[in-house]
Amino acid sequence: MLPLAGCHQPEELVPPVANKGINAFTAYPTWEGYHTADESGFPGEIDYEEHTITVQVPYTYPVESDNVQSLENYTKVYVMFNLDDNVTVEPSLHTIDLTQRYTVTVTDQQKQKTEWTIKAALKKSDACDIESFTVRDIDVSAIIDKNSATASLIYFEELKNVFADYTLSPHAKIVPDPATKAFWCSPDQPMTFTVIAQDGVTSREWTLQQSEPTRVESGMRQGSGKLLWATKLSAVGVNTLDITTSVAATDDHVVINPHGEAPIILDAKSGAVVGKLDLGQYLSPTKSYFITSDDAGHLIISNLIPDDGGVFRILRMKDVYSTPEVFIEHATTEPYGKHVSVRGDVYGDAVISAVYCGWTSTGTTSTWRWFVKGGAPVSQTPVWTQVTGMSKGWTNGDAAYGGTDETSDYFVCGYSNNTLTWVDGATNTAKASMVGELTGNEQMLAVDAREFNGVNYVITAMETSFTWGVAGAMWIVEAKYPETFTGRLDDEASPVVYSLDRGSDGYGKYGGRLNDGQNSNAFVDVVLHTSSDGYFMNAYFMFCNGYVGCVQFDCIAQE
């Protein structure tokens, strides 16, 4: 009886109600027989009443370019249906010609058949947002809230006959045009603009208001991190490999330091070159080896010892237009100066730290630090500290403090420990750590820390000096509690709030290895800078022979 029972046909299960059947349809451009199934696909607009799918080919592609498209450019595209369970399409399509129409039969879960038409059309963009808006006359940028279509200026005096520079959605236009037509605005009388999309039909009214936006309760707004700009060092004028050591930031400028050459000043908003830093007598490969910045955007410059003799020297500058002044001098023959970090304001209260940078197989885990009170160093002689409780030593790294008090906790990293470690500032004992090791062939050599909207954030980066290993890794970590400061950075453990995209192969598209040349010294630097209004935090990264770039975060509550 068992063999006979096994021959019975199973009862066919048919769901009582059919769903949409076709949930999505995407066409992917192909080249040389290849295609990608990612965000580069063209979506299909589905009309469930007329049973049509219209592939939306951008009128210009890429959308921000002036490359007007033609359907004849897409005579062979790969297509992908997203169907409900037990729904079929006949004939089965894999590639189609977007200059043609296709008819397919869709069979739903109830075995009902309908005919569908697939066609294509060029579609102009309907995006009509303001991406940035800066009042030219006062150089104040508005805070953009796309949800409420508002641009908020933290500036409370009446604006008369002013002009603005702006960025809109690709190919959109703004009426009236504030770049060419003067406008008025006041806290009591906001200004309205209409942004018209590329399609000439879709529009949105935007309000320029002078008011203080609401902040999220604490820290950054979740998901606010965006790559503001990134540019190759060679594109901004660094023509020599293996010399760029550091990056510094102010509200308006970014400084990159190819030591021995004049530091290059970039615009903080765009990354465009605006000039060079005049260091006068201190410009040399060893006298101006490293440049960083404090919380207030002042510049700090250090030499490299013992290459520059027997005196470790720290200079300070109020801004990129000032003259360097000697701030700290300490006689020593110990190797210091490859990395210097500052927390606070060197013209107020601050702590300056410099990590031992001589190579030892076991590492030293030692740091010098100077405390600054009222704009003057408490002593020219540094306080020497050594971290205990780490699994193994490190050297050639960096240390950044979470505050300016002598017992403030701090964060360290270095080779070959390759962990980001939270250290108790009172006992100099490791509290917690996060593992940064990727393949074991990288060097974690840079760290910085800043408070943003009541929360401390730490940034660190890794680069490789080898012809193998990962290049161009960077993470930003929330440092609220030592108990949660754990896990692997690469796995994006819970404290990790941002990871720099390392490219599809994971080997670091911003590092030197895949760009202008292998970073033989593993020079890498990072710095966090919060805007003077407290609404933005910019994270700057620099990979020698690779890129310098800016990731921006905000703490603005969105509607």
Q: What is the pLDDT of residue 37?
A: 62
- Token pair recorded at residue 138: 């006062």
Report the CATH number at residue 263: 2.120.10.30
d(CA 396, CA 416): 9
Summarize pLDDT for 21-44 with one digit per residue, the tens: 999 999 998 876 666 666 778 999
Do 467 and 502 fall into the same domain? yes
Q: How many domains does the chain have?
A: 3
CA angle 34, 37, 41 (to 5 degrees): 100
- Residue 90 inside a domain? The answer is yes
CA angle 340, 528, 280 (to 5 degrees): 50
- Residue 488 inside a domain? The answer is yes
- Token pair recorded at residue 49: 């009443």
Do 294 and 331 fall into the same domain? yes
Give the helix ranges, DSSP H, for 11-105.
none
Do 107 and 140 fall into the same domain? no
Do 359 and 232 fall into the same domain? yes
Give the per-residue SS3 of 269-335. Answer: CCCCEEEECCCHHHCCCCCCCEEEECCCCCEEEECCECCCCCEEEEEEECCCCCCCEEEEEEECCCC
Do 189 and 301 fall into the same domain? no
pLDDT mean values, one per 10 residues, the chain (559 residues): 40 49 92 66 94 96 92 93 93 94 94 95 96 92 92 92 96 97 95 97 97 92 93 96 97 95 95 96 97 97 96 98 97 94 97 89 82 97 93 84 95 90 96 89 94 97 89 94 93 88 87 91 96 93 97 89
Is the preceding peptide bond at 62 cis, omega within 30 degrees of 0? Answer: yes
- Residue 559 inside a domain? The answer is no
Q: What is the pLDDT of residue 15?
A: 44
143-145 and 140-141 beta bridge pairing = unpaired
Do 112 and 137 fall into the same domain? no
User: Among positive and negative, which fits the CA dihedral 496, 269, 348, 156?
Assistant: negative
Domain boundary among 123, 150, 169: 123
- Residue 110 inside a domain? The answer is yes
C-beta separation of 213 from 228 below 8 A:
no
Report the CATH number at residue 82: 2.60.40.4120
Do 266 and 172 fall into the same domain? no
Domain boundary among 88, 123, 158: 123
113-123 and 52-58 beta bridge pairing = parallel
d(CA 476, CA 345): 22
Q: What is the pLDDT of residue 11?
A: 40
CA angle 534, 537, 542 (to 5 degrees): 150
Of 84, 94, 87, the C-alpha closest to 37 is: 94
Specify the pTM.
0.80
Do 321 and 419 fall into the same domain? yes
- Token pair recorded at residue 169: 């959605």
Report the CATH number at residue 156: 2.60.40.2340
Q: Which residues pair with 317 in a beta bridge?
A: 299
Question: Which backbone phi and psi does 20 adopt, to 5 degrees?
Answer: -70, -25
Give the per-residue SS3 of 438-485. Answer: CCCCCEEEEEEEEEECCEEEEEEEEECCCCCCCCCEEEEEECCCHHHC
Do 286 and 368 fall into the same domain? yes
CA 348 from chain centre, in angstroms, equals 30
Of 37, 27, 115, 38, the C-alpha closest to 71 is: 27
Do 113 and 137 fall into the same domain? no
Summarize pLDDT for 535-552 with one digit per residue, the tens: 999 999 999 999 999 999
Of 275, 342, 335, the C-alpha closest to 315 is: 342
C-beta separation of 463 from 470 below 8 A:
no
Domain boundary among 123, 141, 164: 123
- Residue 3, H or E segment: helix 2-5
What is the CB-side half-sphere exposure of residue 163 using CA atoms within 13 A?
6
- Residue 263 inside a domain? The answer is yes
- Residue 446 inside a domain? The answer is yes
Full domain range(s) for residue 540: 226-551
- Residue 277 inside a domain? The answer is yes
Is the preceding peptide bond at 15 cis, omega within 30 degrees of 0? Answer: no
d(CA 179, CA 181): 6
C-beta separation of 474 from 555 below 8 A:
no
- Residue 1 inside a domain? The answer is no
Do 333 and 440 fall into the same domain? yes
CA distances (Å), 74 to each of 29, 97, 121, 125, in order?
Answer: 7, 6, 11, 19
Of 454, 456, 450, the C-alpha closest to 539 is: 450
Do 193 and 312 fall into the same domain? no
Give the helix ranges, DSSP H, for 177-233.
none
410-415 and 395-401 beta bridge pairing = antiparallel
Which residue's structure tokens are 């300016």? 404
